Amino acid sequence: MKRKSISYAKWGYIFLIPFFVVYVIFSLVPLVQTFYYSFIDYTVSQGQAQSVRQATDVASNVIDNGFCGLANYKEVIVGDTPIFLSSLKNTMILWIIGFIPQIAVSLLLAVWFTDIRLKLKATGFFKTVIYLPNVIMASAFSLLFYNIFTRSGPFDSLFNMQILETASGSRVVVGLINFIMWYGNTTILLMASIMGIDTSLYESAQIDGANPTQTFWSITIPLIKPIFAYVVVTSMIGGLQMYDVPYLVGGTGGGPKTVLLTLVFQIQKGKNSNVSLVAALSVLIFIVSAILGFITLKIMKDDSVKTRYGKKKKKKA
């Protein structure tokens, strides 16, 4: 009955055409070009430093000295303009400041939401509220926080502190915004994973007299390890792309002592000037996220993807 007299295979290919054509034109070719620029000495000179938001129709001179090997990479890592190393450091610090409270709070809330003895009410309401900041325009959110913490803003007039004018202060503000925007998302991911744990494990632990702390460390944590790793790695990939929040908090200058100048910020900044340096930086971002992405795929393989194909094979047999 399953034998097909007509082959439908060609339709599979036809339906894949739009995706692959668009992907090749708008992602793959640009990626190859990015690699290409990273190996040549290519600079656009505008006569003066370009602001990020300036129009580009100023007459520009292209300096193209051709292939230069790994010189661009050397320059962005250990050279006079180590934009990769400095902005990677900035990005990682901002990510960590936001992520540590985020994972701690999310774990706590996820455990409470799923606790069979605690039986919290109105969890639907709480979930809706804590996820809300995630759908909000990061630019608007950041601008609001900028207004709150800026000189003579509400925070300054209450505590007499201009925290956006210090390096650590502005980092904390960006971390705080990232925390508020993302802890709801993490909570929901962790909750879904905890709810997948067999409740009989918790019941037997309870009968054996384990207290909530013991069940948390000996049952919950070991069993949610895969999703925990997934959350950490995907959050890191997201962190590498951090741009809106530090940009709107720090402005075009990247905050005090340029501590808010993230990796992606450099791309925006150098798109019309240090093209090949920015390209080298992009390739390095690509490599780092490829490694992180590979780890994510490894984690995911354990569940969804493999079972899907496993099922398929069984059906055919």
Touching other proteins, residues 101-160 (CB under 8 A): 105, 108-109, 112, 117-118, 120, 124, 126-133, 135-141, 143-148, 150-155, 157-158
Torsion-angle region of residue 181: left (phi > 0), alpha (psi -120 to 50) or beta? alpha
Residues forming a β-bridge with 45 = 61
Q: List binders of other proteins among 15-44 (CB under 8 A).
A: 15-16, 18-20, 22-23, 26-27, 29-37
Residue at 219: amino acid letter: I
In the set 3, 5, 13, 317, which binds other proteins (CB under 8 A)? 13
Binding mask 46-85 for other proteins (x = CB under 8 A): ------xx-xxx----------------------------
Do the Cβ atoms of 146 and 226 come closer than 8 Å? no
Crossing angle between the packed helical segments 275-300 and 71-78, to the nearest 10 degrees: 80
Tokens of residue 243, six digits: 């741009």
In the set 59, 67, 209, 213, which binds other proteins (CB under 8 A)? 209
Minimum Å gap between C-beta 228 and other proteins is 10
Indicate the helix (H) or strand (E) that contains 106. Answer: helix 83-114
Minimum Å gap between C-beta 74 and other proteins is 18
Asked if 96 interacts with other proteins (CB under 8 A), we say: no
Binding mask 172-201 for other proteins (x = CB under 8 A): --------x--xxx--xx-xxxxxx-----
Distance CA 305, CA 302 (A): 8
Distance CA 240, CA 5 (A): 50
Asked if 217 interacts with other proteins (CB under 8 A), we say: no
Distance CA 279, CA 247 (A): 20
Asked if 248 interacts with other proteins (CB under 8 A), we say: yes
CA atoms within 13 A on the CB side of 288: 20
Residues forming a β-bridge with 267 = none
Interface segment toward other proteins; rule CB under 8 A; list 69-77, 89-97, 166-174, 224-232: 224-232
Q: List binders of other proteins among 279-308 (CB under 8 A).
A: 279, 282-283, 285-286, 289-290, 292-294, 296-297, 299-300, 302-305, 308
Q: Which is nearer to other proteins, 93 or 130 (CB)?
A: 130
Q: Which residues are CB-neighbours of 47 under 8 A, at least 6 positions away?
A: 58
